[in-house]
Structure 1
């Protein structure tokens, strides 16, 4: 096949992909559309992308074949390759990273190896893994149920806590509870969260450690986005007011026995309970080697977040965050060049995800210092 024919095929597939994406977006934004139609459209988009990727690989193969070295050079290249033990996958990953770095420095998108989404470019996994950012124990994303999804919107089945017990054959005939389903369908629609990184094209062109620099900023932006969105979901739990240590105990002791209970509290909440003592003069907060804060409350681990993550004030979630919160993650982190108010090229980052309450019986949202329920 001629190079021009493959290039024509790639151009046609790109056009079809763009048209289909616009069509699916229109369906997703329409109140009259059906989820099944959107899902079918997304499958067509994925199929077009698969065909496009295959066509690009074919073009790369043909181009490489046209640039074959003479026998002596090929022998030397083969020897060097064997010494370095570079696999085909590693070569492809290196090409992807190389094209991505070129995009960052010039704004030029290349067709070979680079993954694009909308107007942006997906960051290669090699770059995101270059620098392992230490896991922050206060990061709520580590506490919830994160699920990778293949479409922008849909439904996920969530297994809720089972309350039905096993019975004898005679009892089962009279026990309708045993037949009740414990699956709950949670609808999601991936939203695009965007933000600007404080990096200009000029800064990136001169940066000696570009991969590490980009990785650090992207990880921080992603974690902060998840932190505040998860905090919004936790605030939807059943509200409880507690004005004393006894009322805190009641909130913890009742209705949550079937769950893996823990506390997610604001700094103000933590400070308030850190001053509380029981009737014997002992502080309510006890030492715990398994807790991020080194403390436990009524035997459950305590995670402390900024006040504004949970709406401000002495607020806290008690229950099982993993059962309560579902994070539907649609795509990897992508970046694109944008203009700021000074008409400078700045790097923007985007994350597609949705955050939903799953098992709403799995927690309570406590306002400490307030009386009444």
Structure 2
């Protein structure tokens, strides 16, 4: 028997089996509806088993039929793929007919108990997970959002430059501060019992200062204070204190920028200023912007060792060539990305006339809230113009070996 004959015989057998399915379905339903005893239910179950067996035989016969057709096609995997799609279409049509008939038409349907067996490929057919699947945005209303009510402070390099200046308490709105100049005069040599020669008089320079008032206030509603999940007054007070610190730092930085300017393109330039230009009597501190500090951090000695070292005695924890290094933001001595620094004796270089530093909080019944006021009164002046230099780093044009 050739393939065509096998297909014809198998098709006849499948047609006969499919014609029996409808009758068996009717018998099973009738037996179940009329069952009033265990024997009646047993008979219905037996008929159900007969129907399941018949459906299984039909499914097996359909697979064999497909095998025969694939062998005749002889086109390899593409034909198999097309036949697979055809088989899925037949299954889909059979399931649709079963649904529309409310279970009456079971041709081409495989049952497992009371459930219709649907091939996995048919379940996934035509479904694109990227477009048809459920993702987080689709169920956004059901996804909770965690909210933190304790604000995280933004990190920023902050150094209080005021502590390194010559701070004195100003008791008036303006005045003069005497600065004793360094003296180079030496004593005269005299013979025994000769009269003492005159000493050179100390030389003073008066630095004029005039207090400037910086202040501000912010009202806080009592409702915001009561209903806030955190200590709102503490947060606002901390912010106000930071604004005062920014104000004094800006004023001090403005004065530091007025000192004699020098360029440092190499480590030798920095050493020349430290060793020669600046009088040995002055203390030394480097106030460096972030960009200038980055250059300092790359300096090495002849053996390739980095010169910037950790130090427990330096306020910043860093030291270079025996000098403490303080780091501030670029914008305090210039613009972002510009490398500037002050090298010298900050305490001798600047005076800070401190008149008042006030933080006040009071209740105002008219607005049902509280006011927070901050005020600071001070002036910063250059005291000794020889006490330091304003440095700018420029890239060296000397070719590297």
TM-score (norm 2): 0.50
Q: In 1, are the aligned partners of 2:237 and 2:372 still within 8 Å (CA)?
A: no
Cα drift, residue 348 of structure 1? 4.3
Question: Equivalent residue for 2:349?
Answer: 324
**Structure with bigger gyration radius:** 2
Question: Equivalent residue for 2:90?
Answer: none
Q: 1:268 to 1:167 in 2, by over 3 A?
A: same
Q: In 2, are the aligned partners of 1:241 and 1:370 still within 8 Å (CA)?
A: no
Q: Indicate yes or no: 2:239 matched with 1:217.
A: yes
Greater displacement, 287-296 / 235-244: 287-296
Question: Equivalent residue for 1:364?
Answer: 389
Cα drift, residue 242 of structure 1? 1.1
- 1:334-370 per-position Cα deviation (integer Å, ceiling 9, x unaligned): 5589xxxxxx986442211111000111101110126
Question: Equivalent residue for 2:15?
Answer: none
Q: 1:334 to 1:212 in 2, by over 3 A?
A: closer
Correspondence for 1:248 among 270, 277, 280 = 270
Question: Equivalent residue for 2:295?
Answer: 272
Greater displacement, 223-232 / 285-294: 285-294
- Distance in 2 (CA, whole Å) between partners of 1:263 and 1:174 is 43
Question: Equivalent residue for 1:200?
Answer: 220
- 1:31-54 per-position Cα deviation (integer Å, ceiling 9, x unaligned): xxxxxxxxxxxxxxxxxxxxxxxx
Greater relative CO, 1 or 2 (CA 8 Å, sep 6+)? 1
Correspondence for 2:179 among 144, 158, 180 = 158
- 1:58-95 per-position Cα deviation (integer Å, ceiling 9, x unaligned): xxxxxxxxxxxxxxxxxxxxxxxxxxxxxxxxxxxxxx
- Distance in 1 (CA, whole Å) between partners of 2:223 and 2:190 is 73
Question: Equivalent residue for 1:229?
Answer: 251
Correspondence for 2:380 among 352, 355, 370 = 355
Q: In 1, are the aligned partners of 2:264 and 2:270 still within 8 Å (CA)?
A: yes
Q: In 1, are the aligned partners of 2:282 and 2:345 still within 8 Å (CA)?
A: yes
- 1:191-216 per-position Cα deviation (integer Å, ceiling 9, x unaligned): 1123455x524367538857755653
Q: Indicate yes or no: 2:165 matched with 1:147.
A: no
Cα drift, residue 137 of structure 1? 8.1
Q: Indicate yes or no: 2:210 matched with 1:189.
A: yes
Question: Equivalent residue for 1:262?
Answer: 285
Q: In 2, are the aligned partners of 1:335 and 1:347 still within 8 Å (CA)?
A: yes
Q: 1:236 to 1:289 in 2, by over 3 A?
A: same
Question: Equivalent residue for 1:125?
Answer: none
Q: 1:138 to 1:278 in 2, by over 3 A?
A: same
Q: The residue matched to 1:252 in structure 2 has which SS?
A: helix
Cα drift, residue 325 of structure 1? 0.9
For structure 1, which runs of at least 5 residues remain unmatched after alignment?
A: 1-135, 338-343
For structure 2, which runs of at least 5 residues remain unmatched after alignment?
A: 1-156, 363-368
Q: The residue matched to 1:332 in structure 2 has which SS?
A: strand
Aligned length: 228
